[in-house]
Amino acid sequence: MSLARIRWISGPVLRAQAEGPFAMREAVRVGPQGLLGEVVRIEGDEIVAQVYEDTAGLRPGVEVTGTGAPLAIALGPGLLGNIFDGLLRPLSGDADAYVHPGMRQRRAERFDFTSALQVGDSVAAGAVIGETRLGDRRALACLAPPDADGVVASIVPAGRYAEDECVVTLRTSDGATRQLAMRHDWPVRVPRPIVQRLATHAPLVTGQRILDSLFPVALGGKAAIPGGFGTGKTVLLEALAKGCNADVIVYLGCGERGNEMAGVLDEFPRLVDPRTGRSLMERTVIIANTSNMPVAAREASIYCAATVAEYFRDQGLHVALMADSTSRWAEALREVSGRFGELPGEGGYPAYLSSRLADFYERAAAVTTLAGKTGSVTLIGAISPPSGDFSEPVTSHTKRYVKSFWALDVKRAQARFYPAIHPLQSYSEDARLFAPWWTEHGNSQWLALRRRFLTLLDQEAQLERMARIIGKDALPLRQQLTLLCAGLVDEAFLRQSAFSEIDRVCAPERQGAMMRLLGRFIDLAERAVAAGVHPDRMAQMHCVRQLQRMGEEVRDAELARFDELAAQVESEFAALTTEVADAPHG
């Protein structure tokens, strides 16, 4: 192993005089505690390394040892249900399993292993070598690492083994042997290989109406949630983690204050997954790198999280990775870059901010895996722009790489209108590609209704400006009606409380029923106004109040109640129109 000696150290960055060869991105161990670091630059006989742990006490002369390998993490079944730091070291479990300076691996847990392989079988890189059962009895594939292939030379009988125990020995084509365990190491900065990317036209179902019905994100797609302080980013990410239809959730708390992570940390273990009836933690991996943890580890944590997500994707699962927040990650990048003495660019961020963001979002995809399965990683990143200004570098660069943009609005949040996603500042590119999926899920009118809702909301914004000048009552009746209908879409459809038992998750079928009901109301209202009914009369209809409350009152399983509501809407409009027709003229 190569050796170097520290010459200079500043916070998480050190320069050391190398006494042997080092490679870029090689993992290093620093000082007597063996603190974990990584070579980020080589200048002649000097290496520059960033250290992922607290460097207090290090001084010139202290040894830096090369490990001969890039920074890697161990991927295996023991990840699910646990909480880790930014380098995937345990923050949960027994006290002695807790992370301590220089710690290398998490302890290997024991799992059942069975395999259909026999001695003499060929194993391709990334192929399934066996299967394990998790606590919830769910089967999880055990994979050969993407860089290992060969012929089975020996295999253990079915039984219980530690994650890092050899279960299969391969003889590789060059005659060497390679031992495989249920878990394997993979370098954090190298995307895991795949066979091919797939174009998907199915959404990640989030259970949030404004997202699924107006601004969907694809399974394997990428979305950003920019929002100023307190606009609801964390609550929204948590709602998605709890309610979306992914098989596995990787939740990255990146640089937020510890108390902001507290919600996730103590709530998740107690929450029940409605689909399985078991703890939500069993499908979740939490990576927590709070603001009091070393800044360089925050920079690495986002790659760790992406690698963990890809590992589960490779088993043929749909994975959603939520990162809260990518701004704190970018700040870590800025801080470390400053210590290197790099020239700052826009906003003080290094010039490579944009390409790093691109690299991260590039890891979202639906794919055919090496094992021939279909899996996906959907990336959802919160952005906390300073003073809520979306023109700052992190937001503007992220915009170039994501397809769905869910902009949280301060005014909506202040009015306690949640989720505070602004329907006119948000978008979803390629939304129309999801129309066939919606047709399969009972809403063939989805695309038309979506366009209608968005048009109404857009007209509302313009009319409100006008109404502020001339007064709402001076607007023509049709325009007053537009304001009424847009208000109803907002109130009855877009508003959705994350804390309502019934409404925190809304199934696509219910979203479709609500959309169609509102569409019908708007049709009838337009006819009524043409027949001379004043919009103020419509605003007082009994059914309007019921529509406003339907989200919190009608459950996913009670779709028939929407038909009853529709019948009521029809009869109330019929009564109103008759009343006007019968009224004496003049």
Specify the 3-state DSSP secondary structure of 265. helix
Q: Find the largest Cα–Cα distance for the chain.
A: 101
One DSSP character per residue, 492-532 reads III---TT-TTTSS--HHHHHHHHHHHHHHHHHHHHHHHTT
How far apart CA 92 and CA 301 sit, in angstroms, is 17
CB of 257 to ligand ADP, least distance (A): 10
One DSSP character per residue, 519-578 reads HHHHHHHHHHHHTT--HHHHHT-HHHHHHHHHHHHS-TT-THHHHHHHHHHHHHHHHHHH
Residue in this structure with the two tokens 């590789």, named with its chain if needed: 172
Tell which positions 533-572 bind ligand ADP, by CB under 6 A: none
Residues with Cβ within 8 Å of 272's Cβ and at least 6 positions away in sequence, in order, are 278, 279, 280
Give the count of beta carbons closer than 10 Å to the beta carbon of residue 355. 12
Burial-class residue 504 by CB neighbours within 10 Å (0-12, 13-18, 19+).
middle
* Residue number with the smallest Cβ distance to Mg ion: 234
For the window 219-248, what string marks contact with Mg ion as x by the rule CB under 5 A?
--------------xx--------------
CB of 385 to ligand ADP, least distance (A): 11
Phi, psi of 571 (to 5 degrees): -70, -35
CB of 36 to ligand ADP, least distance (A): 30
418 contact choice in ligand ADP, Mg ion, none (CB below 5 to 8 Å, kind-dependent)? ligand ADP
For the window 411-430, what string marks contact with ligand ADP as x by the rule CB under 6 A?
-------xx-----------
Of 418 and 521, nearer to ligand ADP (C-beta) is 418
CB of 340 to Mg ion, least distance (A): 29
CB of 416 to ligand ADP, least distance (A): 7
Tell which positions 232-291 bind ligand ADP, by CB under 6 A: 232-235
Specify the 3-state DSSP secondary structure of 444. coil
Of 113 and 418, nearer to ligand ADP (C-beta) is 418
Residues near ligand ADP (CB under 6 A), total: 13
For the window 491-510, what string marks contact with ligand ADP as x by the rule CB under 6 A?
------xxx-----------
CB of 482 to ligand ADP, least distance (A): 27
For the window 213-242, what string marks contact with ligand ADP as x by the rule CB under 6 A?
--------------x-xxxxxxx-------
Of 499 and 585, nearer to ligand ADP (C-beta) is 499
Burial-class residue 578 by CB neighbours within 10 Å (0-12, 13-18, 19+).
exposed
* Residue number with the smallest Cβ distance to ligand ADP: 232
Tell which positions 117-156 bind ligand ADP, by CB under 6 A: none
Of 30 and 211, nearer to ligand ADP (C-beta) is 211
Ramachandran assignment for 409, one of left (phi > 0), alpha (psi -120 to 50 degrees), beta (any other): beta
The two structure tokens encoding residue 69? 């390998």
Of 108 and 235, nearer to ligand ADP (C-beta) is 235
Of 235 and 559, nearer to ligand ADP (C-beta) is 235
Residues with Cβ within 8 Å of 451's Cβ and at least 6 positions away in sequence, in order, are none
539 contact choice in ligand ADP, Mg ion, none (CB below 5 to 8 Å, kind-dependent)? none
Of 132 and 234, nearer to Mg ion (C-beta) is 234
Of 498 and 576, nearer to ligand ADP (C-beta) is 498
CB of 213 to ligand ADP, least distance (A): 16
Of 237 and 515, nearer to ligand ADP (C-beta) is 237
How far apart CA 332 and CA 300 sit, in angstroms, is 9
Question: What is the identity of the amino acid at 53?
Answer: E
For the window 458-497, what string marks contact with ligand ADP as x by the rule CB under 6 A?
---------------------------------------x
CB of 565 to ligand ADP, least distance (A): 24
Q: What is the DSSP letter of 489?
A: I
528 contact choice in ligand ADP, Mg ion, none (CB below 5 to 8 Å, kind-dependent)? none
Cα–Cα distances in Å, from 119 out to 1, 115, 126, 157?
36, 11, 18, 12
Residue 191 makes contact with ligand ADP by CB under 6 A: no
Cis check for the bond before 584: say yes or no (omega within 30 of 0): no
Q: Up-side HSE of residue 487: CA atoms within 13 Å toward CB? A: 14
Residue in this structure with the two tokens 């929450």, named with its chain if needed: 271
For the window 155-174, what string marks contact with ligand ADP as x by the rule CB under 6 A?
--------------------
For the window 248-267, what string marks contact with Mg ion as x by the rule CB under 5 A?
------------x-------
CB of 236 to Mg ion, least distance (A): 9
Specify the 3-state DSSP secondary structure of 70. strand
Residues engaged in binding Mg ion (CB under 5 A):
233-234, 260
Residues engaged in binding ligand ADP (CB under 6 A):
227, 229-235, 418-419, 497-499
